[in-house]
Amino acid sequence: MDIFIKIAGALQDWLMNGMGLSVTASELIATAVWALVAILFILVNLIILVWMERKLGAFFQMRRGPNRLGPAGFLQFPVDIVKVLGKEDIIPAAADKPIYKIASICAFVTTICAFAVIPFAKGMVLEDLNIGIFYFIAIGSTATLSLLMAGISSNNKYSFIGGMRTVAQMISYEIPMAFSLLGVVMMAGSLRLTDIVEAQQNMWFVIPQAIAFIIYFVATIAETNRGPFDLAEGEQELVAGYFTEYSGIRWAIFFIAEYGNLVAVASIATIMFLGGWNAPFGLTFLPPFLWFMIKVYCMIFMFMWVRWTFPRIRIDHLMHFGWKFLIPVSIANIMVTGIGIYVYRMITN
Amino acid sequence: MFGQGLIKGLGITFGHLFEKKITQQYPEERPVLPERFKGSFSLRVPKCIACGLCSNACPNNVIKIESEKDENNKKKLTGYKMMAERCLYCGFCVEACPTKALLWNHNFERAKFFREDVNLDLFNSYVPSPEDEKPAKPEKEEETAKPEKEEETAQAS
């Protein structure tokens, strides 16, 4: 499915030759168009994911889920978006208004930024950075900041506790996440995401790096604030956590960012562990882009399955699990991987 | 082993994923109600002897009976109202009815927009059906004895 690449090439060609623009100007316009495409991709995925989340959540509990509007309730969420757009934008009187206003946008921007380096197929990547995975982790860290901004600026004790918990949780779980990805980077010998995918043509890294995959899976659940690690927005204790005071479209932007993050981390899991766009067992009758999306949705199904199965864990258990279990195991995994690579090189040379 | 419970839990929810859904699609799919379900009341007017036992049995004074005597000096029902806004659905009236004229039915959709609409006028809303015209079969001796007793009470009062 290199139709996207062809369209991209044709657009750039048209801008340069048809419109008579300079190389820089045409690249600027093309990049803006790609950014829009990324946003559109997030929104399309959002609609599918919210429907999927509600449907699967219902099925796991033997309910039916949304089933009124559209086929199998698929149009429920678009209509909900329209409802949210029409709502009043309430800002608390005592809130720190500028920070309160930009917090939700910051959360969304970091999510879009993460999509800049994700290769959906061969050559189908906005910017093939040579430090792609490093960039992804760095952008993921800044998402914490926007949630903290929302929590503090709301001037509400629940928001504040939610924001603080988010910071504690996300910073703790970023370390095992980065370390689990380090094993893959060592095996691939590159930080560039396309190189990592190319290195998995014969064997997906989920086989030699199974422990890293499980660590990454657990850590990203905590990173995306999903159940059973959704302490930052634990309804029973914190109303809605850091976005308690948010309503209308500002709340919806947080919501979009949350699901966008979910797609981003599932994409990274696919790229790092599940072979990216490579077809499994040589089943190349589907285009690479479709294989990539199938893998991403399988990962998202796993996330949802876990969310609707386990109860929320306690905050001190969360911290103990992160610092006393995941980090030592991930460091041990790096060590074992290093020794393995060393031994492999000794044998082959 | 650590994590065994987690896998077991995931297995249980995965099983639920393909199980039959237990949600009832209420307005389209009618609930299957048990035989003795206490919904609303229905009165088989031809069977009613206007004895007033239901009214006496009622703890909240819900039932208002109007009756007149015909040429044979027999009581005939001319009005039967239930102030259902006060009713607590205890079912004493149904139990008290000697001819089984007053019965529970399966109509549970009793929500109304105005308060007055809640009240039931069982006499005027009665729809005749051939089933009701049959004389009540005396299933037990007790039941055949009852109506006589009522007439006595009715005459005494």
CA–CA distance, A80 with A303 (Å, rounded to integer) = 23
Q: How high is the pLDDT of residue A94?
A: 83
Residue pair A312/A228 in contact (Cβ under 8 Å)? The answer is yes
Q: How high is the pLDDT of residue A147?
A: 85
Interface check for B20 against chain A (CB to CB < 8 A): the answer is: yes
Nearest residue to A46 via CA among A38, A284, A154: A38
Best interface-test mutation with A: which of B6, B13, B24, B25 has the largest number of A CBs within 10 A?
B13
Pick B21's closest partner by Cβ from A63, A306, A308: A63
Task: Report the predicted TM-score, pTM, of the whole model to 2 decimal places.
Answer: 0.77
Q: How high is the pLDDT of residue A105?
A: 86
- Is the confidence at residue A218, as pLDDT, over 70? yes
Confidence of residue B157 (pLDDT cuts 50, 70, 90): very low
Pick B9's closest partner by Cβ from A59, A62, A310: A310
CA–CA distance, A255 with A253 (Å, rounded to integer) = 5
How much is the ipTM here? Answer: 0.70
**Which residues of chain B lie closer than 8 angstroms to A63, CB-CB?**
21-23
**Which residues of chain B lie closer than 8 angstroms to A305, CB-CB?**
10, 13-14
Report the chain A residue with the minimal C-alpha distance to residue B14.
A60
Interface check for B2 against chain A (CB to CB < 8 A): the answer is: no
**Which residues of chain A lie closer than 8 angstroms to B13, CB-CB?**
60, 305, 308-309
Report the chain B residue with the minimal C-alpha distance to residue A306.
B10
CA–CA distance, B44 with B65 (Å, rounded to integer) = 14
- Is the confidence at residue A100, as pLDDT, over 70? yes
B75-89 average pLDDT score: 86
- Is the confidence at residue A299, as pLDDT, over 80? yes
Confidence of residue A248 (pLDDT cuts 50, 70, 90): confident
Best interface-test mutation with B: which of A53, A54, A61 has the largest number of B CBs within 10 A?
A61
32-91 in chain A: CB under 8 A from chain B: 56, 58-64, 67
**Which residues of chain A lie closer than 8 angstroms to B20, CB-CB?**
62
A14-40 average pLDDT score: 77
Please write the tens of the pLDDT for every residue from A71-91: 888 888 888 888 888 888 888
Q: Which position has the higher pLDDT, A332 or B154? A: A332
Secondary structure of A148-165 as H, E, C letters: HHHHHHCCCHHHHHHHHH
**Which residues of chain A lie closer than 8 angstroms to B24, CB-CB?**
none
CA–CA distance, A161 with A245 (Å, rounded to integer) = 13
Q: How high is the pLDDT of residue A43?
A: 86
CA–CA distance, A335 with A94 (Å, rounded to integer) = 51
Please write the tens of the pLDDT for every residue from B91-142: 898 999 888 888 888 888 888 898 888 888 888 888 777 766 665 555 555 5
A123-142 average pLDDT score: 83
Lowest mean pLDDT of A264-268, B47-51, B135-139, name the range. Answer: B135-139
B140-157 average pLDDT score: 50
Cα separations (Å) of A321 from A107, A129, A176, A198, A227? Answer: 26, 33, 11, 34, 15
Q: How high is the pLDDT of residue A281?
A: 74
Interface check for B26 against chain A (CB to CB < 8 A): the answer is: no
**Which residues of chain A lie closer than 8 angstroms to B14, CB-CB?**
305
Report the chain A residue with the minimal C-alpha distance to residue B19.
A62
Q: Which position has the higher pLDDT, B115 or A26? A: B115
For chain A, give the mean pLDDT: 84
